[in-house]
Amino acid sequence: MTGLNEIYKCEICGNIVEVLHIGVGELVCCGQPMKFQDESVKDGALEKHLPIIKGNEVKVSSINHPMEKSHYIEWIEATDGEQVSKIFLKPGQNPKAEFCFTPISTRIYCNIHGLWKK
């Protein structure tokens, strides 16, 4: 069973979906179950991916994360407990985003290293 706001990825075609309403079915893409993107289990690279909240801005790590076509931060999401906003980034941009509220929690998605939360 899925959970609200969980992120799943198809390991074949690369589709990524977020659960906006919980159902009982399994998420399937390209004929196989989609893979749950765990925001807590990682194999290193923590210092390059941990989001930092400063005022209404979210920055990805204290050292620069690459923003190249082959490796970049795809999006930064933030919530203040009521509102949720997601800002999509492109290669070449800075790995940061400014929100119109003060985030209390944030998630970022790296196309190589997956989902990270603070």
Would you tell me which residues interact with Fe ion (CB under 5 A)? 110, 112-113
Q: How far is the CB of 48 from Fe ion (least distance, A)?
A: 6
Smallest gap, in angstroms, from Cβ of residue 70 to Fe ion? Answer: 10
Nearer to Fe ion, 68 or 82 (CB): 68
CB atoms < 10 A from the CB of 36, how many?
15
Q: How many CB atoms lie within 10 A of CB 109?
A: 23
CB of 66 to Fe ion, least distance (A): 7
Distance CA 13, CA 93 (A): 25
**CB-wise, 2 or 7, nearer to Fe ion?**
7
Q: Longest Cα pair distance anywhere in the chain, in angstroms? A: 43
